[in-house]
Amino acid sequence: MSPLKGFFNSSVARKFWMAITGVFLVVFLVVHLTVNLFLFISPELFNEASHFMATNPLIQVMQYVLAAGFIVHMMMGMKLTIQNRAARPVGYAYENAGASSSWASRNMIVTGGLIGVFLIIHMRHFFYEIKFTDNVTDDYILVTSLFSIWYFTLLYVLAFVGLGIHLNHGFQSVFQSVGWKNSKWKGIMQIVGTLYSLFIALGFSSIAIYFFLNPVN
């Protein structure tokens, strides 16, 4: 095996690609939440922002890059999880799982799976309806009407709580993967990661809860 091929098949390479694709997803979430927060301002403003996102050529290209990034991120995550579990003796893994790692780090595959399931449902109700059907005449009504359904709202909030946990650990892992491991950067990244994760989880969840409690007629 060549050194280059060996690198791309190594756990270091998988962590690197997870870090890079994770950065793309972090940026996307900020943009997506910013657009969704227009729901609080006015239907017209949200519809304009949604239309811009749906018609801007750069964003149209980037959505497929992000989709590819998400798939790579999930595949690398599953491979690393399988690889790490296979490398540990079973007894040691169970007895020492909590000794040197957080619950979030040990359950990234769980929170990632929850996010994956939610994303499929989310794509079906939003992306598919808007892009491939003629059923949607008003994006604002589509979004807010779904939040009037209690089980959809509950799933939405649970998914973003899971995403917040996933992001909090993943955000710090990104900087570890690129070599920023000293105590100064680690402390800063822990604070930034926690604030970012809370912003994303609370931001999306607050939208769902608000429109569940204040349904649009």
Cα gap 34→211, rounded to integer Å? 17
In the predicted structure, residue 204 carries a pLDDT above the cut 60: yes
Closest CA to 128 of 148, 116, 142: 142
Interval 8-18 mean pLDDT: 64
126: domain CATH number is 1.20.1300.10
The letter for the amino acid at 125 is H
Collect all residues with Cβ–Cβ distance below 8 Å to 71 and sequence separation of at least 6: none
Which pLDDT band, with edges at 50, 70 and 90, does 12 fall under?
low
Q: What is the pLDDT of residue 113?
A: 78
Residues 146-180 pLDDT 10s: 999 999 999 999 999 988 888 887 777 666 655 55
Largest CA distance in the chain: 64
User: Domain count of the chain?
Assistant: 1
Answer yes or no: is pLDDT of 9 > 70: no
Instruction: Output phi, psi for 22, to 5 deg.
Output: -65, -40
Distance of CA 7 to the CA centre of its chain: 27
How high is the pLDDT of residue 4?
47
Looking at per-residue confidence, does 3 or 113 come out higher? 113
Do 167 and 193 form a contact (C-beta atoms < 8 A)? yes
Position 34 pLDDT exceeds 80? yes
Name the pLDDT band for 91 (thresholds 50, 70, 90).
very low
**HEC string for the chain:** CCHHHHHHCCHHHHHHHHHHHHHHHHHHHHHHHHHHHHHHCCHHHHHHHHHHHHHCHHHHHHHHHHHHHHHHHHHHHHHHHHHHHHHCCHHHHHHHCCCCCCHHHHCHHHHHHHHHHHHHHHHHHHHHHHHHCCCCCCHHHHHHHHCCCHHHHHHHHHHHHHHHHHHHHHHHHHHHHCCCCCHHHHHHHHHHHHHHHHHHHHHHHHHHHHHHHCCCC
Percent of the chain at pLDDT above 70? 70
What residue numbers bound the domain in which 203 lies?
A: 3-213
Mean of pLDDT over the chain? 78
* In the predicted structure, residue 203 carries a pLDDT above the cut 90: yes
**Higher local confidence (pLDDT), 111 or 149:** 149
* Buried-exposed string 45-75: b where 16+ CB fall within 10 A, e elsewhere: ebbebbeebeeeeeeeebeeebeebbebbbe
Neighbours of 115 (CB within 10 A): 20
- Give this prediction's pTM: 0.76
pLDDT at residue 56 in the model: 83
User: So what's the pLDDT on residue 188?
Assistant: 77
